[in-house]
Amino acid sequence: MTDSDLVHVSVASPAGAYTVGDPSFFRYIVRLAELGLPLPQPDRESLDILAAIPHAFEADEEVPRLSGAGWRIVPAQGELDWPVLEATPQRLRAALERAQAILWTNAARCAVSAREITSIETELDHVYGVLMRAEAAGFAVNVSYVA
């Protein structure tokens, strides 16, 4: 079992929340930028938002950028708080959809299995539901992960 097998990604807003527990989602969607795929600048920018998702309990973790179009890292406000990525639902959806398209185009190169693809699709459907509810209610979403 690897460290990424224990990672849970939390997507939350006042309109609802979902915690992704599938390690494939973390490995192939959240950390897709780390797979070393040759990508054009617009694709790399789309993946920056996912690469910036902070670990809930490691506030000192380095992130490449602290903000971008439609997103920012909100640092922990106290001992009982943790850093989160705050994004508009539209911006997070666009980043996830772009990551999904990049992964499917490069599935063989990334060595993602059919079972992992199915799991990722299921998780994305749940996350998209949270984003849809947040957008309809006019809320931003917070994203973090914890191992």
Q: What is the pLDDT of residues 49-79, one digit of tens each?
A: 998 998 877 766 565 568 878 899 998 888 7
Q: What is the pLDDT of residues 92-116, one digit of tens each?
A: 999 999 999 999 999 999 999 999 9
Percentage of residues in the chain having pLDDT higher than 70:
91
Lowest-confidence region among 27-31, 68-72, 116-120, 135-139: 68-72
* H helix runs in the chain, sequence order: 23-25, 41-51, 89-105, 107-110, 114-137
As given in the structure block, the two tokens for residue 8 are 């849970």
Q: What are phi and psi of 16, to 5 degrees?
A: 145, 170
Rounded to whole angstroms, the Cα distance separating 86 from 29 reads 17
Q: Answer yes or no: is pLDDT of 81 > 90.
A: no
Q: Across the beta sheet with 71-74, what order do the strands follow?
A: 16-20, 8-13, 141-146, 84-87, 71-74, 67-68
Give the three-class secondary structure for 3. Answer: helix
Q: Where are the domains of the chain?
A: 3-146
As given in the structure block, the two tokens for residue 50 are 């996912």
Question: What letter would DSSP give residue 61?
Answer: -
The Cβ-side half-sphere exposure at 98, using a 13 Å CA radius, reads 20
Report the chain's mean pLDDT, rounded to a whole number. 89
Q: What is the pTM of this model?
A: 0.90
Q: What pLDDT score was predicted for residue 55?
A: 82
The Cβ-side half-sphere exposure at 52, using a 13 Å CA radius, reads 26
